[in-house]
Amino acid sequence: MSGCSAPERGVPALRCVGLEKSFGGVLALADVTIDFTAPGVVAIIGPNGAGKTTLIDGISGFLRLDAGRCYVGGRETTRLQPYQIVRRGLVRSFQDVRLIQQESALDNVMLALTRQREEALLGALWPMRHKAEEELNVTTARDTLRFVGLDDNAESRASDLSYGQEKLLALACCLATRSDILLLDEPVAGVHPDTIVRILELLRRLKDDGKLVIFVEHNIDAVRQVADRVIVLDQGRVIADGSPGAVLARPEILDAYVS
């Protein structure tokens, strides 16, 4: 599924060039140009309305940009459909947690895990062919749930999970897509402090596994704990980009976030 072959040396894992988007006269993104390299944990912060979710929507193909280009592993993804971008190795999560509520946690992860060729309609008529793969997927799915700490809830329906568990499940689904780049929209917002710790630990481990995690957050504390790079967006423009120590020390940045 991870269609991106090992990225060549020197090619950024994700590159955004000159991204622009307006909504009826309101500029949400203005000439945003950023290079991201893997592995890493990058935080994108900024006041409300700064364009953070728009950026994620634009990169992941859910929003058509007015101008600019995106490249994943050196290959352009600007006009691709969301599902095509996932197959190139970039996955995103949603600010309002999205899951298939009526299905179990395990089924949600299985959904993320199964590959295109296993899901073909005609393939359904020969259940024997993919039986082995399906069983392997179940094992991998359970392992993924164990990685995020939800193995006890594998059979629970998603709608029965707590908010924090839903966020963990959404993260598990992102992982199951085998993507090397994860765009997470407020992964720790609104969850219990214990869950925050768990999620941040998972993000660190993902970086250790060689992945690139880019996350939008308002929780500056979380950002300080786990990010190795902070990008600040304000009114659609990048106004700061550097290490957390450098960026978060600037008074004007902190002012925007007095908390």
Q: How many CB atoms lie within 10 A of CB 92?
A: 23
Interacting residues toward other proteins by CB under 8 A: 1, 23, 26, 28, 48-54, 57, 60, 62-63, 81-83, 86-87, 91-95, 98-103, 107, 110-112, 114, 116, 118-121, 123-125, 127, 130, 134, 173, 176-177
What's the CA gap between 14 and 1, in Å, rounded? 18
For helices 131-148 and 105-113, the axis angle rounded to 10 degrees is 120
Nearer to other proteins, 31 or 107 (CB): 107
Q: Are 77 and 12 within 8 A, CB to CB? A: no
**Least Cβ distance, residue 57 to other proteins (angstroms):** 6
**Least Cβ distance, residue 143 to other proteins (angstroms):** 17
Sheet containing 212-216: which strands, arranged edge to edge?
90-92, 181-185, 212-216, 40-45, 229-234, 237-242
**Least Cβ distance, residue 122 to other proteins (angstroms):** 9
**Least Cβ distance, residue 231 to other proteins (angstroms):** 15
Nearer to other proteins, 23 or 163 (CB): 23
**Residues near 249 by Cβ (< 8 Å), separated by ≥ 6?**
none
Nearer to other proteins, 132 or 194 (CB): 132
Terminus-to-terminus CA distance in the chain, angstroms?
42
Nearer to other proteins, 42 or 63 (CB): 63
